[in-house]
Amino acid sequence: MRVRLLVVSEYTVKNHVNRIFAKLRVRTRGAAIARWLGTAR
């Protein structure tokens, strides 16, 4: 089995997470999960 290593910088990950938060209109991971589960207030 061949395995490839995906190298992603910390900045790239933070950037993607922040864009997701912006689209969901939340500021925290907990709030994002609550929004996704439909339990956000």
Q: What is the pLDDT of residues 2-40, one digit of tens each?
A: 878 889 999 999 999 999 999 999 999 999 999 989 886
Contact between 35 and 26 under an 8 Å Cβ cutoff? The reply is: yes
pTM: predicted TM-score of the whole model, two decimal places? 0.69
Q: What pLDDT is recorded for position 14?
A: 95
For residue 29, the SS3 value is helix
- Give the pLDDT band (50/70/90) at residue 41: low
